[in-house]
Chains A and B, each alone.
Chain A
Amino acid sequence: MTALAVLTGHYLRASFGSKVSLAFGAVQPFLFLVLFGPLFARSGVGSWAVLVPGLLVQLALTSAGMAGFGIVFDQRFGVLERLRVAPVSPVTLLLGRVLRDSLVLLVQAATIIVAGYALGLRAPLAGVLAALLLMTVLSVGMASLSYAAALTMRQELFAPVMSTVVVPLMLLSGALLPMSLAPAWLDVVSRLTPFRYAVEGLRALFSGSYGSSAVLWGTVVSLALAIGGLALGANRFRWEKA
């Protein structure tokens, strides 16, 4: 437990020490909010309460999804190996990073939400807080999978592969436009990706329908992703490639 706090603190200091990269992480969803949001709100498709949850998932996908990039350097410079010789469990080594990533994401998400309120978002505070919690669970899974991918694939492939993989996942989640508009085939494909359920869960929470099946499914899928991601990620921390 102490080791986990020490690791998380170390990574947090590094992340919050670099305000520029912290801000850059939220630039994309912020641009969508400001430059696309007004169009969306007037399109008749949905309100700000439909768009903002989508942007949060987009943020989780791009920010937590690319988290593994940092470990590519740690691996190259021997930092990871040095940590692996310390008497600390692989889960702790992974969680220290993942908790940092989730906290960074929370700060970025809160900024987006506050900006959303300024632009016309109306959502109950309880729903927004519950949505942030759900997004955190989702980001734990996403970041863990990102580390697992970074420790599995060839170093130089990680950035191009992950930034490409994130695009269809984001589009299929219905983060930008709700999948209720989709033709049947696209709707089916979308249902095969986990982020569809997260987006709909978050939207339900923003609209105050706490007991809906969308919330249930969003929670179940996000939890499954987090548990699976942690198991897979810890496994990659434990054994090196032969």
Chain B
Amino acid sequence: MIHVRGLTKTFGTVEAVRGIDVDVSAGEIVGFLGPNGAGKTTTLRMLTTLLRPTSGAATVAGADLFADPVAVRRRIGYVAQGGAFGPFTPVGNELVLQARLYGLSRAEARARVTSLLTALDLAGAEERTTVTLSGGQKRRLDIAMGLLHRPTLLFLDEPTTGLDPQSRANLWDHIRRLRERDGVTVFLTTHYLEEADALCDRVLIIDHGRIVAEGDPERLKAEHGARTLDEVFLAVTGRELREGAAA
């Protein structure tokens, strides 16, 4: 589903991503971990065609990222960290607009929005604006925006940041259901290691623009004699993730 070789991104003299390889198979839920500034979001923005890579090769959802970015866009969903809704427009209008940009007719778009909102426990929210929704509801709404065109691959940037534990667990259930029911492959970034542990089949750990460890959480823990992914992170980077996040 994702095949990346030697992907780099340089901003001026800063090498944000220094030649990473990523392989994700269909149906996987993969977590992309690292402290703030490690290169997670930059990588995600390259894989979603928002940012042009400096060098490397990448196939995303079966299309070449460099040669055919529009085909990539048709097949992927992207849920950005900061949300995707303005504060004043009814969310239904925004969702229908987005669906129609992917070629759905007005009637198809409306039906799709209704069924997605229902599936994400947001039935009847069409006329509301985001200011009246809770943090968890907003994130589910953002996910609905990313799923309108039935993408086979969904990118989620820090999907549960800022949510309370209950909303977070609820969102995890929804993400698992996406894979089970619709066969969606999920690639998500997070700096909550317990999230990766609970949700992901496999994790990639990025630090200073390089992938420093990868594998399924259980095996990584066993390899490093660690009880948690936090300890794995400490073992491979020599730093606490939380310190990294603060730095």
Judged by a CB distance under 8 angstroms, whether B225 is at the interface is no
Interface string of A64-93 (1 = CB under 8 A from B): 000000000110011101111111100000
Q: Per-residue 0/1 for A1-27: is the Cβ within 8 Å of any B Cβ (1 yes, 0 no)?
A: 011001100100110000000000000
Are B101 and A77 closer than 8 Å at their CB atoms? no
Give the residues from 168 to 203 in chain A that come closer than 8 angstroms, CB to CB, to chain B.
Answer: none
Query: From residue B41, how far is it (CB to closest CB) to chain A in Å?
Result: 12
Residues of B within 8 A of A81 (CB): 50, 80, 84
Q: Which residue of B lies closest to A77 (CB)?
A: B86
State whether the Cβ of B49 lies closer than 8 Å to any Cβ in chain A: yes
A10:B97 contact, CB within 8 angstroms: yes
Segment at the A interface, from B87-95, B165-173, B212-220: B87-95
A240-B51 in contact (CB<8A): yes
* Residue contact B102 to A87, C-beta cutoff 8 Å: yes
- Write out the residue numbers on chain B whose beta carbons fall within 8 Å of the beta carbon of A79: 84-86, 94
Q: Are B89 and A87 in contact (CB under 8 A)?
A: no
Inter-chain contact A87/B70, CB cutoff 8 Å: yes
- Chain A residues within 8 Å of B94, by CB: 79
Q: What chain A residues lie within 8 Å of B51 (beta carbons)? A: 240
Q: Which residues of A contact B179 (CB under 8 A)?
A: none
A6 and B104 CA atoms in complex are apart in Å by 11
A85 engages B97 (CB within 8 Å): no
Q: Contact string, B42-62, partner A, CB cutoff 8 A, digits 1/0? A: 000000111110000000000
> A10-B93, A81-B80 are contacts. A86–B86 as well, Cβ < 8 Å?
no
Total residue contacts A-B, CB cutoff 8 A: 62
Report the nearest A residue to B81, measured CB to CB: A78
Most buried by B among A7, A14, A81: A81
Q: Tell me the complex Cα distance, A13–B50, Å.
A: 28
Once A81-B80, A87-B102, A242-B12 are accepted as A-B contacts, the answer to whether A14 and B50 lie under 8 Å apart by CB is: no
Q: Are A85 and B48 in contact (CB under 8 A)?
A: yes
Whether a CB of chain A sits under 8 angstroms from the CB of B82 is yes
Q: How large is the interface on B (under 10, 10 to 19, 20 to 34, 35 or more residues)?
A: 20 to 34
In the assembled complex, how far is the CB of residue A99 from the closest CB belonging to chain B, in whole angstroms? Answer: 15
Task: Establish whether residues B73 and A77, one from each chain, have CB atoms under 8 Å apart when the complex forms.
Answer: no
Give Cα A98–Cα B243 distance, bound, in whole angstroms.
47
Distance, CA A14 to CA B90, complexed state (A): 11
B49 pairs with A7, CB closer than 8 A = no
A78 touches B80 (CB 8 A): yes
A7 close to B80 (CB less than 8 A)? no
Residues 67 to 84 of chain B near chain A (Cβ within 8 Å): 70, 73-74, 76, 78, 80, 82-84
**Inside 8 A of A239's CB, which chain B residues have their CB?**
52
Give the residues in chain A near B86, CB-CB below 8 Å: 73-74, 77, 79
Report the minimal beta-carbon distance from B95 to chain A, rounded to whole angstroms.
10
A14 to chain B: which residues have CB within 8 Å? 89
- Asked if B50 and A7 sit within 8 Å, CB to CB, the answer is no
Give every chain A residue within 8 A of B93 (Cβ-Cβ): 10, 13
Could you give 5 example pairs across A and B, Cβ below 8 Å?
A79-B84, A82-B80, A83-B101, A240-B51, A242-B11
